[in-house]
Amino acid sequence: MLKKLFSRRDESRRENHSVLSGRTIKYVVLRENNEETVLGHAGSVSQRNGEIIVLASGKVVFRAGLDSGVRMNQLLSGNGTIITGNDLENNGELRTIIVHYTG
């Protein structure tokens, strides 16, 4: 029973990653201490070599291993995703970003 519960969660996590991959980004913000700072505009989300990579304004603004406990939750509007994980682009620091998609 417990094995089924965890396997479903892993399947759901893989589905979330695949749904995100290839999405076009309008802008990305960093949520820190109840404040949001824009990290970049016009980019994409991709999945490569076991990592989720967020590009905006021509640079990698977030990169985390898919097996490292990355959490993703879709915004209620459906126009974006909240991603929390250890960002390999920032010394593995735990960060929360919000990716807003184009139309």
- pTM to 2 decimal places: 0.77
Amino acid at residue number 3: K
Which of 22, 13, 19 has its CA nearest to residue 55? 22
CB 51 within 8 A of CB 63: yes
Amino acid at residue number 84: T
pLDDT digits 0-9 by tens, 9-43: 444 444 444 456 567 889 999 998 888 899 999 99
Structural domains of the chain, with CATH: 2-101 (2.30.29.30)
Q: What pLDDT does residue 42 have?
A: 92
